[in-house]
Amino acid sequence: MQAIAARMPPLVSIVVPTRNRADELRQALKALLDVHAQTAQVELIVVDNGSTDNTWRLLQTVSAREPGLQAVREPRPGISHARNAGIREARADVLVYTSDPFDEALELIGPVSAELYVDSSLDHADFFVRVCDVDPDGKSVNVCDGLQRFDPSTIDREGDGGFRAEVRLWPIGHRFAPGHRLRIQVSSGAHPVYARNLGTGEPPARATAMQAADQTVFHDAERPSSVTLPHFPG
């Protein structure tokens, strides 16, 4: 996760495919980040479309210090591939974190849990975490997930209003092949897999109204949100 609060949801997703234009990209990124600085309602996604120069290195460097920028790598040349890769990542109400491709296979067997440091504008809120396997072509396959529902009796807010949200996922038994990537998704629900939280505390079967929540996920030295995976090297 990025080392700063990530607030959702933005209303506009800007997807920028690029290939072998590292020098021009620096100026473009500055302009895009200037737009993002003026409004948190925009998410920026830049797709490296199989560049052979230092485009990817530049994107990694900038995205590491700018949480408003998401860098995506699409190895297949072609504007349609790049656009589709960006669209797959452009989900305003879902936080997505994707690893680099694995040089060697990674086997995970056992329990999975997430410890999130969060804030919510409501006292009735859900937090959902999912682990995915992304193949070299960009196809993302769900591996395991879990959702935890919170209410006034389970939310223990700190002085700044934030609280710790523990989410237990289904156990995992999966092998990530070489060249694949591990992806973590974090959101505030997964309807229709899990019944949506109406935000009011009313019984779902009789509720007549819904209330939207503004959620924040933190990750910094004081609030180190994390996902724990069962990796036992042989």
- Of the ranges 118-122, 126-130, 198-202, 215-219, which one carries the lowest mean pLDDT score? 215-219
Instruction: Output the CATH code of domain 1-92.
Output: 3.90.550.10
How far CA 13 is from CA of 70, 92, 180, 194, 213, in Å, comes to 11, 7, 25, 26, 20
Task: Give domain limits for the chain.
Answer: 1-92, 94-234
Its CATH class, for the domain covering 94-234, is mainly beta
> What's residue 25's pLDDT?
92
Tens of pLDDT, residues 22-57: 989 988 898 888 877 776 677 889 999 999 999 999
- On average, the pLDDT of the chain sits at 87
Tens of pLDDT, residues 3-22: 334 444 556 778 889 999 99
C-alpha to C-alpha distance for 128 and 142, rounded to whole angstroms:
13
Tens of pLDDT, residues 118-173: 999 999 999 999 999 988 877 889 999 999 999 999 999 999 899 999 999 999 99
What pTM does this model have? 0.67
- Note whether 46 and 72 are within 8 A (CB): yes
